Amino acid sequence: MKQTNNFDFLRFFAASLVIVGHVYPLNARPDAIEVGSLGLFPSGHIAVCIFFVISGYLIIQSGLKTASIFSYLSKRVLRIIPGLFVSLLFVIFIIGPINTTLSLPEYFGNIRTYYFLDHIKLYPIYHDTLPGVFESNPHKSPNGSLWTLPYEFTMYLFVILVVFLYRNKWHWFLISFSCFFLFFCFYHPYFQGDKQLMFINLNIFHLVDFGIYFVLGMLFYIYQDKIPLHWAGAISAIVLWLGLYPIAQAGYIPLVAITWARYFSIGYLVMYFAFLKGPLNNFGKNGDYSYGIYIYAFPIQQTIVHFWGATMPSYQQILLAFVFVLPLAWMSWHFVENPSLKYKSFFK
């Protein structure tokens, strides 16, 4: 595969899709894509899948090229924690006071206000509300997007294990993944529900679901010279995915089989579009704003819902969210994220 790629654009697209996807549940309105996919694929979930495929491809590359585990983890922490910390302060000291039903002395004098900083641990005991904030909204969370970050970081740790066990033995990694995927398909009902992993309190189904997309991204990197990326393959991936719907609706296969095929279809489509040559190859030359969009969009959208949700159409809420979120993402990259990344060399 060539070095030029569209990863920056795809991440920006996925982050923007999160804004679109969240406008429906935050207003308790039906999601057209979720309804059209028979409830299998909410708009926001599409974005997360794209993120995890790209992340798998890039993070295994970092894991293989970084000299030490300490240096590798330092890079990952510097990419996530500084931006997250500033966004938490933004929610507590700006979003909270604007939206709380309490007086400012009551709000800032309440110890629960500062529990929200627990998210900086990435595996919080999940203090996901602020006193008096968004109490009349359909959803109470000030920043519901943060729940996926622990899953992302867990996959970063998974890469350390994979590199240790399978470096130069990647065919065994492929065999191990294939066996696990078959096990997942056969025992799919077992993974459903609210089963949690001890200590880190992650939902088992979500971890496996996101993890499969992540691993497919890893495999695309590992076998990049053996996987052709061609328009015919992209069309075949779409036909495989969408073509299963009428078959499932006719009762010939279970509906969940569409989800199983979708892992591979989306994985291939993301990689195909990632390496298309064109003007989007230079999309991120001025900065990567996807993370900033992701961590700031939800509280901004919640604020919009709080003040105008009952009267403002969804498309207007989306446009207004972009008006506020894009400057915040720009500042996050140029004043927080990018300056923090310059310390990577310090941990070599």
Cα separation values, 196 from 121, 143, 207, 229, Å: 18, 21, 10, 37
Q: What is the dihedral of CA 150, 237, 162, 203, to 10 degrees?
A: 30
Structure tokens at 168: 């130069």
Query: Mean pLDDT in the chain?
Result: 92
What pLDDT is recorded for position 1?
42
Structural contact between residues 19 and 325, judged by C-beta atoms closer than 8 angstroms:
yes
Kindly tell me the burial class for residue 35, based on how many C-beta atoms sit within 10 Å of its own C-beta (0-12, 13-18, 19 or more).
Answer: exposed
The number of distinct structural domains making up the chain is 1
- Give a yes or no: residue 1 inside a domain: no
Residue 35 within a domain: yes
53 within domain boundaries = yes
pLDDT (tens digit per residue) in 305-340: 999 987 899 999 999 999 999 999 999 999 999 999
Quick one: DSSP state of residue 127? -
Whole domain around residue 128: which residue ranges? 7-341
91 CB-near residues (< 8 Å, 6+ apart): 116, 130, 142, 143, 299
Q: Please tell me the predicted confidence (pLDDT) of residue 3.
A: 61
CA distance 192 to 120: 28
Domain membership of residue 287 (yes or no) is yes
Residue 2 lies in a domain: no
Q: For 18-27, 179-188, 193-202, 217-226, which range has the lowest pLDDT when averaged over its residues?
A: 193-202
Q: Which residues of 240-257 are buried (b: 16+ CB within 10 A; e: fewer)?
A: ebeebeeebeeeeeeeee
Top pLDDT among 124 and 270 is at 270
The 10s digit of each residue's pLDDT in 150-196 is 999 999 999 999 999 998 899 999 999 999 999 999 988 888 878 88
CB atoms within 10 A of CB 59: 24
Q: In this structure, is residue 346 part of a structural domain? A: no
Task: Specify if 241 maps to a domain.
Answer: yes
pTM value is 0.94
| Residue 172 covered by a domain | yes
DSSP string, 251-301: TSS-THHHHHHHHHHHHHHHHHHHT--SGGGGTTTT---HHHHHHHHHHHH
